[in-house]
Structure 1
Amino acid sequence: MQKIVTNIWCNGNAEEVGAYYADLFPNARTWVESRYPLEGLLEFQQPLAGEPLTVGVEIGEARLTLINADDTFSPNPSVSLMLNFDPLDFDGDAVAARAQLDTIWEVFAEDGSVLMPLQEYPFSARYGWVQDRYGVSWQFMLTDPAGESRPFVVPALMFGGPAQNRATAAVDRYLEVFEDAELGQRVLYGEATGPAEATSVMFSDFRIGEQWFTAMDSGREQDFSFTCGMSFEAHCEDQAEIDRLWDALSTVPAAEQCGWLVDPFGMNWQIVPKNMGELMERPNAFQHLMPMKKIIIADI
């Protein structure tokens, strides 16, 4: 099971979003993971009684979860999904890799918004950043096959706004907190660039288990930062691991609810048991979960 799953907050349309991604990406699928109960819901949840609560999406080996809720939150570019189109995955055919990149880009760009145009940059022969019709941001990269291999989908953190210039501290914290974690690259700006200091991170990546992530400090002023619109769900082996991660990461008591927390850098996490789906099949599990802050497995 994937240790950390990227969660996307949806405005009552999680099934539609899942179908959109499953139809667009090769080797992708979607399914309803769980549904809201018919009673015991909060006021904002009542229109969703019996509707999907979470919808799963797999793109290759990457797992995403779509949270079906309301319009309280929405994704923004502080968390994006980087797509690595590696010619080695196309039997070394760079033309085929570029063709698939361009095909998917065109769909996203047609009814989304382009944040960085698709073109050649010093760091990539073909790169672009786009926000799709649902507000989810994607970075497209034609990967240099001579470099180190990375997964097709890599969650990417951009530290801007109140989190500006905190990428190094955040990544170092995650490497300390999570087991089997390792720093990959860390490239600094070298000179002040917009709000980024000379010692700020222009690009870095790190691994937790088998999963890779990227992190950078924004080189432009941003009026947004991390929200519940894009969050990370950490699957824990047992109550002891839930307790350990909760104590290490949670710093905003007012944000604690149903396993959700906000870490020292503003990133939102859900710290949950790995068999959460099975636990939610227990009688009245939803009603037991709603008042909780940190999840207590025995009380579900």
Structure 2
Amino acid sequence: MQKITPCLWYDGKAQEAAEHYIAIFGGDSRVLDVTHYGEAGPGETGSVLTVDFRLAGQDYIALNGGPQFPFTEAISLSVDCADQAEVDRFWDALSEGGEESQCGWVKDRYGVSWQIVPNELPKLLADPDPAKAERTMRAMLGMRKLDIQALRDA
């Protein structure tokens, strides 16, 4: 069992969001448990309170807490991508109904921010040649979805 489990606060769409993410990530991704509000509330009796789910081997809790606390970019989930095909797939799936941002960031239809990052990027940004690293950073800052070949070419 993992020691720390991120809890994501939704306004009534916790189960829908969990199932959406599971469909995107596949593999070791599934709903683990669903709990419902009882008579003590504060939600409607029988409605979904929490959804424990796993994405690519990482456990999360989705909580239907209400509209009081919307998501912000102050916290995001970073997706490590092996190649451009993975970058494209996750970018397209997570941005559908959401909002594209810059530098590989996207906000999904539920307001959760994601960073879609090729696993090669940290190496390119830490190149021993400071000029190469700087060109990579400048190239990245001008992108929405990250283009691995354009980052390499920088």
**TM beyond 0.5:** yes
2:31 alignment partner, SS class: strand
Query: Post-superposition shift, 1:157?
Result: 0.8
Higher strand proportion: 1
Map of 2:19 onto structure 1: 172
Distance, in Å, in 2 between the alignment partners of 1:184 and 1:297 is 35
Query: Post-superposition shift, 1:189?
Result: 1.5
Query: How far does the alpha carbon of each residue in 1:23-47 deviate from its partner, in whole angstroms, 9 at most, with x for none?
Result: xxxxxxxxxxxxxxxxxxxxxxxxx
Map of 1:287 onto structure 2: 138
1:274 to 115, 119, 132: 119
Map of 1:182 onto structure 2: 30
Distance, in Å, in 2 between the alignment partners of 1:200 and 1:266 is 21
Structure 2 length normalisation: TM-score? 0.84
Structure 1 stretches of at least 4 aligned residues deviating more than 6 Å after TM superposition: none
Query: Post-superposition shift, 1:228?
Result: 0.6
Map of 1:299 onto structure 2: 150
In the TM superposition, what are the counterparts of 1:84-123 in structure 2 within 5 Å?
none
**Counterpart check, 1:193 vs 2:46:** no
- Contiguous gaps of at least 5 residues in structure 2: none
Partner AA of 2:18 in structure 1: V
Distance, in Å, in 2 between the alignment partners of 1:226 and 1:170 is 13
Distance, in Å, in 2 between the alignment partners of 1:235 and 1:193 is 38
Query: Post-superposition shift, 1:276?
Result: 2.1
Task: Give me the CA root mean square deviation.
Answer: 1.9
Query: How far does the alpha carbon of each residue in 1:90-124 deviate from its partner, in whole angstroms, 9 at most, with x for none?
Result: xxxxxxxxxxxxxxxxxxxxxxxxxxxxxxxxxxx
Change over 3 Å in CA distance of 1:238–1:199 after alignment to 2: farther
1:153 alignment partner, SS class: coil
Distance, in Å, in 2 between the alignment partners of 1:240 and 1:192 is 48
1:299 alignment partner, SS class: helix
Query: How far does the alpha carbon of each residue in 1:34-70 deviate from its partner, in whole angstroms, 9 at most, with x for none?
Result: xxxxxxxxxxxxxxxxxxxxxxxxxxxxxxxxxxxxx
1:168 touches 1:200 (CA, 8 Å); kept in 2? Answer: no
Map of 1:211 onto structure 2: 58
Change over 3 Å in CA distance of 1:298–1:177 after alignment to 2: same
Distance, in Å, in 2 between the alignment partners of 1:228 and 1:210 is 23
Partner AA of 1:264 in structure 2: R
**Counterpart check, 1:228 vs 2:73:** yes
Structure 1 length normalisation: TM-score? 0.45
Change over 3 Å in CA distance of 1:197–1:242 after alignment to 2: farther
Aligned length: 143
1:154 alignment partner, SS class: coil
- Contiguous gaps of at least 5 residues in structure 1: 1-149
Partner AA of 1:153 in structure 2: I
Over the matched positions of the two proteins, sequence identity in percent amounts to 34
1:252 to 69, 79, 98: 98
